[in-house]
Amino acid sequence: MIRRFIPLLVFVGVAALLAMGIMQAPRKDLVPSPLIGKHAPNFSLPSLMHPHRMVSSTQLIGHWYLFNVWGTWCISCRQEYPELLAIARTGIVPLIGLDWKDTRGEALAFLSTKGDPYQRIAFDPGGLEAIHWGVYGAPETFLVNPQGIIVYKYIGPITPRAWTEDILPRLPADTTVAGS
């Protein structure tokens, strides 16, 4: 009586497929951003460090950069912070921060105690700029090429693996930090 084992065998097959599905399903493909392949939004915002100076998209044209949306209130941002510092140390690509829905005092205190991986930080207390970037929640990181086009978007805290497997391969081999 092999027949009574058929349902079990079929289920084992299905379960195996589902398991393979989970392994394969690349998380990064799940929330495709409509912005990928499009021009990064033009912006001009006060700098977090120097309120009288501006950080604007025109300064960034001509270089690769990582646009990282963060806030001191965001737990996952603290989680990715060590990796951001590590990326900054490699000197391969500059980090441009967007301090989102934050207060200047808390942000400066945070940076002075934990270290500052950013080349520049734009300050967006009202959260308006983040809308243009289609930000759902912090942290989100965009890779922008020298022509100002968004090449890649990473949602959630950047892990060392995300850096080596998703971001690094998208950069040309000879890039170095420019303009610092």
Please report how close the Cβ of residue 4 comes to other proteins at its closest, in angstroms.
5
Q: Which of 72, 119, 141, 145 binds other proteins (CB under 8 A)?
A: 72
Residue appearing with tokens 């105690």: 113
Asked whether position 62 contacts other proteins by CB under 8 A, the answer is no
Residue placing its CB nearer to other proteins in the complex, 64 or 110: 110
Task: Convert residues 2-31 into a mask of x (bound to other proteins by CB under 8 A) and - (unbound).
Answer: --xx-xx--xx-xx-xxxxxxxxx-x--xx
Q: How far apart are CA 135 and CA 33, in angstroms?
A: 10
Instruction: Locate 89 and state its tokens.
Output: 């140390």
CA atoms within 13 A on the CB side of 51: 6
Task: Convert residues 121-160 into a mask of x (bound to other proteins by CB under 8 A) and - (unbound).
Answer: ----------x-----x-----------------------
Cα 79 to Cα 96, 134, 160: the distances in Å are 18, 22, 12
Between CA 70 and CA 171, with CA 68 as vertex, the angle to 5 degrees is: 160
Query: How far separated are the first and last CA of the chain, in Å rounded?
Result: 75
Asked whether position 113 contacts other proteins by CB under 8 A, the answer is no
Residue placing its CB nearer to other proteins in the complex, 56 or 79: 79
Residue placing its CB nearer to other proteins in the complex, 45 or 77: 77
